Amino acid sequence: MPESYKTLIDGQWVETGRELPVLNKFTGEVAANVPLADAATARRAVEAAAHAFPDYRQVPAHRRAALLEAVADSLWQGAEALAEVITRETGKALKFSLNEVQRSSETFKFAAEEAKRIHGETIPLDASRFGDNRFGYYLREPVGVIGAITPFNFPLNLVAHKVAPALAAGNTVVLKPASATPLSALKLGELLMEAGLPRGVLNIVVGEGAVVGDAIVTHPDCRKITFTGSPDVGEQIIRKAGIKKVTLELGNNSATLIEPDADLDKAAERCVVSAFANAGQVCISLQRIYVHRDCAEAFTRIFVDKVKGLKVGDPLEPGCDVGPMIAPREVRRIDAWVREAVAQGAAVAVGGEARERVYMPTVLTGVTESMKVMCLEIFAPVVSIVSYENFDAALASVNASAFGLQAGIYTNDIRKAMQAVRTLDVGGVMINDTPTFRLDHFPYGGNKRSGLGREGVRFAIEDMTTIKMVVINQN
């Protein structure tokens, strides 16, 4: 029997008169029904958040911190049950769902800590010849109502990355989770209300992006939009938002370089997790591996052997590494891309096969830069290996991408590592690791089509606050 959820508007758990079925992504059965919002409901949610803002911004920092800390604790204690919810709604292997809940707990914990240190600074006005006898300082204030729109692939932690810093800074929020995966976001809403969040401070609306998302993005009372999702939708949002702050966390076709002096076994081990966790549906999933010619054969052999050892199938089964993709249409899309690459000359070293809702972990060789599997964001359990001779040219290939989120390099040569840091046009360089490494308090975000702004709790708070300058004339 599917579970029935309600949605959170103005402090009340309500129905909307219409229901959206949420599928178990492995079995295809209905796991739960959630209230489906329309544009009018979304506008009502924004109005509730606007109404709640004047009081919530006055809540002292220590109380906001205590509330966020309580949610961090509840997430940690309830991690196993929530992980199962994530696995059902996304198809993510249970061990990765558990990791996501634990990371979400840390995200809330970091937000609780940051809530206590949001401050401005004094400005030495007498540095200007026109500033004598004036005293100046600035404050950081909450922006107001924040519209938060999130994708399906980390349905809890990417919500946490928006809601926790927003609440830490004294903002109110309207959240629109992905339609495919709204369950863990609604569970998080329950934990926040149990922790004593005042009425209207967080509102959750589930519904079609082009309707409900659009109503949030274009609402004049929303002062900031924070979006994580695909570059095309990000581009539509920034065109429509008008004069609002906008943060965009978008896609990537992440690359790692492997130099001959690297520990190939360690590198291959990490590359396997980075390419195939969450069935490759991670914005920083490893998609392109550039390996120096001198170690390409050895690396490919070790890597392919490890891929063959992955446990694929039911994500709730203990030990599962790779579960289904988010929807059968995604399996069909990726199957077509791989077939097209093969028709253009690529070779399948392992995988290359669809099994119902699962796409088997796939390694391609013999690819070229213009194939879709290389130059577009693949967002699937498919990785390509390219051999190179010249380090500078390999760095140039990594940069010859429309995206720029994170990149990795395996080398023990500090000069090469630092050359990569200087040269790569990305938001983060991981040395002796893959682009997939992320901790929730470091600045995270992309260049080029990978986005605008940075998340990571402190950095999100900077974008969720506005500066007010104060000058005292003592003349």
DSSP string, 332-368: HHHHHHHHHHHHTT-EEEE---EETTEE--EEEES--
Q: Which among 375, 389, 418, 416 is positioned nearest to 288, based on CA atoms?
A: 375
Tokens of 131: 């500033």
Is residue 149 involved in binding ligand NAP (CB under 6 A)?
Answer: yes
User: Rounded to whole angstroms, how far apart are CA atoms 283 and 233?
Assistant: 14
How many residues of this chain bind ligand NAP (CB under 6 A)?
Answer: 31
Cβ–Cβ under 8 Å, residues 142 and 170: yes
Instruction: Name which of 250 and 461 has its Cβ closer to ligand NAP.
Output: 250
Instruction: Name which of 268 and 322 has its Cβ closer to ligand NAP.
Output: 322
Is residue 176 involved in binding ligand NAP (CB under 6 A)?
Answer: yes
Q: Which of 228, 278, 384, 465 binds ligand NAP (CB under 6 A)?
A: 228
- Taking residues 370 to 399 in sequence order and writing x for each that binds ligand NAP by CB under 6 A, - otherwise, the string is -------x-x--------------------
DSSP string, 378-424: --SSEEEEEEES-HHHHHHHHHSSSEESEEEEE-S-HHHHHHHHHH-
User: What DSSP character marks residue 133?
Assistant: T
Residues 319, 321, 327, 328: what is their CA dihedral angle, to the nearest 10 degrees?
-100
Q: Nearest 5°: phi and psi at 181? A: -140, 60
Q: Given 47, 89, 114, 283, which residue is catalytic?
A: 283
Q: Which of 155, 213, 315, 435 binds ligand NAP (CB under 6 A)?
A: 213
Tokens of 350: 């392992």
Is residue 463 involved in binding ligand NAP (CB under 6 A)?
Answer: no
Is residue 236 involved in binding ligand NAP (CB under 6 A)?
Answer: yes
User: Rounded to whole angstroms, how far apart are CA atoms 389 and 441?
Assistant: 37
Residues 6+ apart with CB under 8 A from 151: 158, 178, 228, 229, 230
- CA-derived radius of gyration, the chain: 23
Q: Given 47, 106, 249, 377, which residue is catalytic?
A: 249
Separation in Å, CA 21 to CA 27, 91, 181, 350, 369:
14, 16, 10, 35, 40
Instruction: Name which of 226 and 411 has its Cβ closer to ligand NAP.
Output: 226
- Taking CB under 6 A as the binding criterion, the range among 44-52, 152-160, 162-170, 381-389 that sits at the site for ligand NAP is 152-160
The question of whether 113 is a catalytic residue gets the answer no
Is residue 210 involved in binding ligand NAP (CB under 6 A)?
Answer: yes
- Taking CB under 6 A as the binding criterion, the range among 13-21, 88-96, 227-235, 298-306 that sits at the site for ligand NAP is 227-235
Please state whether beta strands 30-35 and 3-4 pair in parallel, antiparallel, or not at all (unpaired). parallel
Residue 323 CB, nearest approach to ligand NAP (Å):
16
Q: Which of 214, 259, 433, 440 binds ligand NAP (CB under 6 A)?
A: 214
Taking CB under 6 A as the criterion, which residues in 279-318 touch ligand NAP? 283
- Taking CB under 6 A as the binding criterion, the range among 27-35, 78-86, 121-129, 206-214 that sits at the site for ligand NAP is 206-214
Q: Which of 53, 56, 96, 152 binds ligand NAP (CB under 6 A)?
A: 152
Q: Where are the alpha helices (DSSP H) in 226-379?
A: 231-240, 264-276, 293-308, 328-343, 372-375
User: Rounded to whole angstroms, how far apart are CA atoms 453 and 438?
Assistant: 16
Cβ–Cβ under 8 Å, residues 7 and 45: no
Q: Which of 189, 229, 408, 453 binds ligand NAP (CB under 6 A)?
A: 229
- Taking residues 108 to 147 in sequence order and writing x for each that binds ligand NAP by CB under 6 A, - otherwise, the string is ----------------------------------------
DSSP string, 134-158: EEEEEEEEE-SEEEEE--SSSTTHH
- Taking residues 237 to 266 in sequence order and writing x for each that binds ligand NAP by CB under 6 A, - otherwise, the string is x-----------xxx---------------
Taking CB under 6 A as the criterion, which residues in 22-61 touch ligand NAP? none
Residue 161 CB, nearest approach to ligand NAP (Å):
8
The question of whether 353 is a catalytic residue gets the answer no
Residues assigned a catalytic role: 249, 283
Q: In the complex, which residues of this chain contact ligand NAP (CB under 6 A)?
A: 149-154, 158, 176, 178-180, 208-210, 213-214, 217, 228-230, 233, 236-237, 249-251, 283, 377, 379, 405, 451
